[in-house]
Amino acid sequence: MKGNGRAFCVGGDLKHLKEAFTGAPDPDAAMRALQMYSQMYETHHLLGTMNKPVVTIMDGLTCGVGTGLAAFSQFRIATERTRLAMPETSSGTFCDMGSSFFMPRMDNNVGVYMAMTARFLKAEDV
């Protein structure tokens, strides 16, 4: 897998999620958020249970959902343009998309650091 352009994957559109919990006038926001998350979780599950190896090239920004997609791949390639982050914590939400499983298992507590700080890391940092 690889992205197209300046990012591998920068995550999901959190607009629907915010609207669903802030009482925005759109009553369908919660349903759109649920559908979006259901599709993302299904995709992560499929990646994690595939019979064929998955190679992910994290060229450019890799955030949130993109970090989860990469983590469920059997092989991950980072480039000099790779920037990893779990920015959810900076907006007061939690790291999701399987990150509660893979982040504590990253070497040198890098995943815990990412989850706690929401800072962007370069390939050589991880």
Name beta bridge partners: 55.
75
Q: Evaluate if residue 22 carries a pLDDT over 80.
A: no
Q: Evaluate if residue 7 carries a pLDDT over 80.
A: yes
Q: pTM to 2 decimals?
A: 0.77
Q: Evaluate if residue 21 carries a pLDDT over 80.
A: no
Residue with tokens 């591998």, as numbered in its chain: 8
Q: How far is CA 90 from CA 20, 110, 115, in A?
A: 19, 17, 10
Contact indicator for 76, 56 with CB cutoff of 8 Å: yes
Tens-place pLDDT, residues 23-68: 656 777 777 778 888 888 898 889 889 999 999 999 999 988 888 8
* Mean pLDDT across 6-25: 71
Q: For the chain, which domains are there?
A: 7-125 (3.90.226.10)
